[in-house]
Copies of this chain bind each other. A is one copy, B any other.
Amino acid sequence: MQQKADIILKGGTVLTMDREERILGRADIAILDGEIRYIGDNALSLYNASTIIDCTGRVVMPGLINAHTHLPMSLVRGIADDLRLDVWLYGYIFPVEKNFVNKEFCRWGSLLSALEMIKSGTTCFVDMYYYEDVIAGAASELGMRGICGETVLKFPSPDAISYDIGFKYARAFIEEWHGHRLITPAIAPHAPYTCTPDILKEARKIAEDYNIPVLIHVSETAFEVENARKEWGMSPVEYLDNLGLFEAKTIAAHCVHINEKDMKILAEHRVGVAHNPTSNLKLASGIAPVARMIENGIDVAIGTDGAGSNNDHDIIEEMRLTALLPKGILYNPTVVPAKKVVQMATIEGARAIGLDQVIGSVEVGKRADLITIDLSGVHNIPQYNILSDSIYSRIVYAAKSSDVNDVIIDGKVIMLDKKILTMDEDYILKHIESLSGEITAFMHKRESSLVDKLLAIGGIEWKETFEVQVKTRVDGPVNIDEIISNENIKLIRKSTRDQFDTYLLFNNSTAKIRYREDEVTENGKLIETIYTLTLVDRAYEKEFPNFVLLSGSCFSSIADKSLRFYREYFQPDRIFEINKKRKRFRILYKGIDFAVNVDEITNPKDGGYFIEVKSRTWSENDAIKKAALISELIQLFRLSEQNLLKDDYTELFLDK
C-alpha cells in the first residue's frame, strides 16, 4: 500500500550534501509534514502525494543559507554608493534609519528582502536588526526560515532609547517566538565597540536562559581592531572571549581582520563565522582570511550583509566570490574549491548557525528546505561530468541566481517555476514604492535644510546619549574651591578656558550646531586651543525634578575646517555668538564622575554668572541615578532652587 506524502520531487539530480557527499542521478524525494521522508528512485510507487514536481534535468539541493543580513535595509538599497564610509553612514544610512525605521519600515523591507532571497534560492537567513518581532512575522508569513536577532547596543536605537529598554524588547520578542516552526529568535549585541561589557554579559545570559544564539559583528574593519588593541590591549575576539560571550552559541559576522590566535579561539568555541565578501569589498573593509579559517577548523557560513552595502541578497554571487577571492589573494587556484563553497552555503553553513540538525542537507528526517536549479541555460552548457566535482563548479562559477526554479521551505512550496505562491508580489512592491517615495522626499528636504549634513562631513563621534545637567544663575564670581571642599567630593581636574561659541541655528529644526574655540589657559597663559563642532538636538529631552535635563542625541567632532567653511556648508538661517570665561572642575561625588562649570558670560556683555553641574551616560537608568545625585549636589552647593534654569545659553540670550 502506498504511504501518504505531501510532495514528491521527481527525477532530479540530487546534491545531498550529506556526510558521504552523495550525488544521486534521477532521484525522487518524498516530503510529509515538512520533513524529508524518502530519497530513492521509486517514490511514485511507494508514495501517494497531492503535489508532484517534475525535476528532470534540474539539480535538487538543500536551500541556501544567508548567514548575515539586515532584512529591512533593502529599503535603503542604492540610496548612496561609492562614498566614504562615514559620509555614507552619517550622511545617508543613519538619517534614514533615524527617521524611518519603525514597524512599518521593518515589515515592508523584510518582505522585499525575503522575496528577493527566495527567488535567488535562499531558504534560511540570519538577521540582525530592530523590531525583530516584525521581521520574524514578515519572513514567516512568506514562509521563510530564519534566525532573527534583536539588536542591542549602547546607542539609542529605533526600537529602544537605551539598552535597558532594548533588552526588555528583546526578551519579550524571544518569549513570543521561542519554539516557532520557522523562526529562531536570537539576541544580537551589535558589536564589541558599540556595546558596553554589561551589554555583552547580559546578551550571553539571555542566550543561555533561552538556549538561543548570540549574533554579533566582529572585527569587520582594521580600524575596529586597532581601537580594540588601544582600548583593551587585545583583539575584539580575545575581548569577547574574555567576557565569556562565546560560552553561548555565537555567530560572528565578518571576521575580516582576525589573526591565528583569534581563529584558534573561534574554532575552540565553535563560533560560526558569517563571511560577507561583497559587503567587505564594497565598504572597503578588506578580504576575510577564509582559507585560513577553514584550515583552522572554523565553520564558515556565507552572508550577503544588508542590501545597503551589497546591494542585493544573491547568495550564489557570494558563493562565487567566496571561491574566487582566496585564489587571487593567495596565488593558489586550489584553495576553497567549489564543493567546499556549496558546503558552506548548505550543511557547513547550517553547522555555523547551529541548525545542522534541522537543515543543510537532503537526508531523511531533516526538514524539507529544498531548491531546484535549472543548469540548462546557455551560460552553463556544456555539462561535463568527467570529474565528480564538476556539478559544484557549475553552481558556483556559472550558475546565476535567476536559474533557481523552485523553492520549498519546511515542506511548503514557496516558489514554483519562478512564481511566488505565498504572497502577492505586486502588493509588496506597491508598498515599497510608497515608502521609498517618502524616503526620497525626506532626503531631498534634508539636502535642502542641510542640518543633518553635519553627519555627512565625517569625523563625528556619537557621544553618550544622556546628558544630565542642572544650571543656575548666581549673583557674581563664585569661589568654587570652597564649595567643593566636602568630604564626599574629590577634585579630579581643574582648568580655565576662554570659550568662543558660534551657534548655527535653523528655522525648521530643533537641532543646532555649535562651533567652539576653546582656549585652555593656565595662570593666564594659553596652553592649547581646541576646536569642536557639536550637533545638539533637544527634541528628545526629558525633564526631571529640579530642572535636571536629560538631553537626547549629541554628536561631536574635532572641527578641522574653518568657521567660514561650516557657515557655507550648513547655510544656517541664523548665527549667534556667545563668549564666556569658564572654570571647569571634574569631580567625583560618591564615586561618580561629574563636571562643574563656573561661567562668566562676556558676550553678550554683562551676561552674568552661571554654575552648571553635568554628567553623561549611555543608560537611561544610569541617567536617572545620576540625576538624583545632582539634586544632592545642588543642596550641598547651596544653590537656590528658584534660580535653576531650563534654557540653554542660546535660549537665554537670543533676542534679548
A residues with a Cβ closer than 8 A to B are 74-75, 77-85, 88, 112, 115-116, 119-120, 222, 278, 280-287, 307, 310-314, 317, 320, 323-325, 327-334, 337-338, 378-387, 389-390, 393-394, 397-398, 400-402, 425, 429, 432-433, 435-436, 439-440, 443-444, 447
Q: Which residues of B contact A444 (CB under 8 A)?
A: 386
From residue A111, how far is it (CB to closest CB) to chain B in Å?
A: 10
User: What residues on B are CB-neighbors of A77 within 8 Å?
Assistant: 380-382, 384, 398
Do A112 and B398 have beta carbons less than 8 Å apart? Answer: no
Are B112 and A381 in contact (CB-based, < 8 A)? yes
Q: CB distance A331 to B284 under 8 Å?
A: yes
Q: Kindly identify which residue among B119, B278, B307, B334 contacts A82, using a CB–CB cutoff of 8 Å.
A: B334
Whether the pair B386, A281 counts as a contact (CB closer than 8 A) is: no
Is the pair B85, A386 in contact by a Cβ cutoff of 8 Å?
no
**Cα of A444 to Cα of B387 in the assembled complex, Å:** 10
In the complex, the answer to whether B280 meets A384 with C-beta atoms within 8 Å is no
Q: Is the CB of A400 within 8 A of B398?
A: no
Q: Is the CB of B384 within 8 A of A78?
A: yes
Looking at the complex, which one of B81, B402, B429, B447 makes contact with A337 (CB distance below 8 Å)? B81
Once the chains are docked, how many angstroms separate the CA of A439 from the CA of B77? 45
Q: Give the residues in chain B near A325, CB-CB below 8 Å.
A: 281
Cα(A443)–Cα(B384), bound, Å: 10
Nearest neighbor of A397 in chain B, beta-carbon distance: B311
The CA-CA distance from A384 to B119 in the complex, in Å, is: 22
Nearest B residue to A256 via CB reads B328
19 contacts between A and B (CB under 8 A): A77-B380, A78-B383, A78-B390, A78-B393, A79-B386, A81-B338, A82-B334, A82-B338, A84-B333, A282-B397, A284-B330, A284-B333, A310-B397, A382-B436, A386-B440, A386-B443, A400-B401, A400-B402, A402-B402
Partner of A378, one of B83, B119, B324, B400: B119
User: Bound state CA distance, A387 and B112, in angstroms?
Assistant: 22
Top 3 A-B residue pairs of the complex, sorted by shortest distance between their CB atoms: A382-B436, A281-B328, A82-B337
Complex interface: chain B residues within 8 A of A222 (CB): 331
Q: Which residue of B lies closest to A330 (CB)?
A: B284
A384 and B436 form a contact (CB under 8 A) = yes
Contacts of A320 in B (CB 8 A): 317
Q: A333-B82, A397-B78 are in contact. Are A328 and B378 (CB under 8 A)?
A: no
Contact B286 A379 (CB under 8 A): no
CB distance from A187 to the nearest CB of B (A): 30
Residues of B within 8 A of A312 (CB): 379-380, 397-398
Which residue of B75, B280, B389, B398 contacts A328 across the interface (Cβ within 8 Å)? B280
- Closest B residue, CB atoms, query A327: B284
B394 touching A78, Cβ below 8 Å = yes
**Interfacial chain B residues near A75, Cβ < 8 Å:** 382
A153 to chain B, nearest CB (A): 23
B residues near A329, Cβ cutoff 8 Å: 287
Establish whether residues A400 and B333, one from each chain, have CB atoms under 8 Å apart when the complex forms: no
Contacts A311-B393, A311-B398, A313-B379 given; does A386 touch B80 at CB 8 Å: yes
Which chain B residues lie closer than 8 Å to A337 at the CB level? 81-82
Check if B116 sits within 8 Å of A387, measured CB to CB.
Answer: no
Instruction: Let me know if A393 and B287 touch, CB within 8 A.
Output: no
The residue in chain B whose Cβ has the minimal distance to the Cβ of A393 is: B81
**CB pair A84 B386 closer than 8 Å:** no
Q: With a CB–CB cut-off of 8 A, which chain B residues contact A385?
A: 440
Determine the residue in chain B with the shortest Cβ distance to A328.
B281
A379 partner residues in chain B, CB cutoff 8 A? 116, 119-120, 312-314, 401
Q: Report the Cα distance A237→B150, complex, angstroms.
A: 55
Using CB atoms, name the residue of chain B closest to A340: B82
Whether A334 touches B84, Cβ cut-off 8 Å, given contacts A328-B287, A381-B429, is yes
Instruction: Assess whether A324 is in contact with B282, with CB atoms less than 8 Å apart.
Output: yes
The answer for the CA separation of A77 and B375 in the assembled complex, in Å, is 13
CB distance from A405 to the nearest CB of B (A): 13
